[in-house]
């Protein structure tokens, strides 16, 4: 189906002239209107349709004419930047965020905004007093995760061809895992944050660490494409053949045990990778205590919110020394290993308002977040999607992206939900 194709495929058809951007955008709006998952909450239709008509008559960048949505935390000229807060409902942006500027320069057409958890302050759900709750297209009784739940749900439901979200406490990777799409948390600082802040905040107040912004998509190749037009360039992938990758693996831990369903799907995936010739190395890196790492990550989240108030929590200097030591431990590990595989989340998407083991949802994502490593959540097929987290060396974002891309045929990749 057209609406579940990748952005890369659609862009190629638009360049060839076998697909009309205007017609595609009109059809996408009709699909958004008919959807009941509440993923896309604001649109700018005249702008989008006029831009699409222009795209049909011209040539441009790698996303030329591709319609997309973006998380309602980025400034988009002509649309309110609400963060799900009613007080910001009329805070219409007069200029685009840097990410939006760069997407437009690449030819993408940002047609609207996807829903967020209120003030982005939750990783396990997407609900706010302005737009309400977003549902998971895989099972509407379940959460899409948060706070980029609208972004992941829009992709899974075929309402956007690529998305852009943010990730402080797993807000890209957890929704990607629950909705069965791909999501990338880049190395902090790879993608500029200007224009990603609540209305009224001065530019630059959101810190480059630990918050990051990055793409969500229906393929790892689309993650690479979106990052290439929005982020700073980095080195190419260490490997170009799947069988050449040296892969570290930890699929479970007593401090955050995975469910039986998740464990079985992950184990089958690693077995399938091993059969391709991938070299598997089991165990945590020397010098990395996953429990301590997860607990210390909570401090970094506290630091982020303190920064929004212009302050800094006590103990920040010591925590930064610990983080530097942890980064050094991972750097030593990645001298002999190319990527590290672990769960994205210990479970599949919970039911709405299920609070069982709620905070455990961030245990596995913290393993990449605290040391500032790039990480892809790649979808694995089960009764409900399971997220496989592919962690790479700092500033080598293309390495985990390439691994996820090359492994897609083995692991299954994105599968549209039953309709």
Catalytic residue check, 171 = yes
- Please give the span between the terminal C-alpha atoms of the chain, in angstroms, as a whole number: 12
Catalytic residue check, 71 = yes
Residue with tokens 């749900």: 153
Active-site residue, selected from the candidate residues 21, 51, 71, 114: 71
> Do β-strands 386-391 and 375-380 pair in parallel, antiparallel, or remain unpaired?
antiparallel
Active-site residue, selected from the candidate residues 21, 51, 114, 147: 147
Active-site residue, selected from the candidate residues 51, 160, 171, 377: 171
* Cβ neighbours for 57, distance < 8 A, ≥ 6 positions apart: none
For residues 182 and 389, give the distance between their C-alpha atoms in angstroms, rounded to a whole number: 10
Displacement of CA 395 from its chain's centroid (Å): 17
Max distance between CA atoms of the chain, in angstroms, equals: 59
Catalytic residue check, 219 = no
The token duo for 96 is 């685009």
Active-site positions? 71, 147, 171
């Amino acid at each position: 189906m057209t609406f579940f194709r990748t952005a890369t495929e659609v862009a190629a058809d638009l360049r060839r002239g076998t697909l009309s951007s205007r017609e595609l955008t009109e059809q996408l709006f009709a699909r958004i209107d008919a959807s009941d998952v509440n993923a896309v909450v604001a649109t700018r239709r005249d702008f989008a349709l006029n831009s699409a008509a222009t795209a049909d008559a011209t040539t441009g960048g790698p996303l030329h004419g591709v319609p997309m949505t973006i998380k309602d935390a980025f400034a988009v000229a002509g649309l309110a930047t609400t963060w799900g807060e009613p007080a910001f409902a009329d805070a219409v942006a007069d200029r685009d965020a840097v990410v939006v500027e760069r997407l437009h320069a690449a030819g993408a057409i940002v047609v609207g905004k996807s829903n967020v958890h209120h003030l982005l302050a939750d990783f396990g759900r997407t609900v706010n007093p302005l737009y309400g709750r977003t549902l998971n297209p895989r099972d509407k009784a379940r959460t899409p995760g948060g706070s980029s739940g609208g972004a992941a749900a829009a992709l899974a439901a075929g309402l956007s061809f690529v998305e852009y979200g943010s990730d402080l406490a797993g807000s890209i990777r957890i929704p990607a895992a629950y909705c069965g799409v791909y999501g990338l948390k880049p190395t902090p600082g790879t993608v500029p944050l200007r224009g990603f802040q609540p209305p009224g905040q001065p530019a630059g107040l959101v810190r480059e660490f630990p918050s990051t912004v990055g793409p969500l998509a229906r393929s790892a190749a689309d993650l690479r494409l979106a990052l290439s037009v929005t982020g700073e360039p980095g080195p190419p992938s260490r490997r170009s053949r799947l069988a050449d990758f040296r892969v570290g693996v930890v699929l479970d831990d007593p401090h955050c045990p995975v469910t039986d369903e998740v464990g079985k799907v992950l184990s089958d995936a690693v077995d399938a990778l091993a059969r391709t010739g991938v070299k598997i190395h089991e165990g945590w890196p020397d010098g990395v205590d996953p429990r301590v790492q997860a607990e210390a990550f909570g401090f970094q989240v506290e630091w982020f919110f303190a920064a929004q108030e212009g302050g800094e929590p006590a103990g920040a200097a010591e925590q930064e020394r610990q983080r530097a030591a942890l980064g050094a431990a991972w750097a030593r590990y990645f001298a002999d290993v190319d990527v590290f595989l672990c769960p994205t989340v210990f479970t599949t998407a919970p039911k709405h308002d299920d609070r069982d083991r709620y905070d455990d949802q961030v245990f596995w994502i913290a393993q990449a977040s605290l040391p500032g490593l790039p990480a892809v959540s790649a979808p694995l097929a089960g009764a409900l999607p399971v997220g496989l987290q592919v962690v790479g060396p700092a500033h080598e974002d293309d390495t985990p992206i390439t691994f996820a891309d090359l492994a897609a045929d083995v692991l299954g990749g994105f599968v549209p939900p039953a309709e």
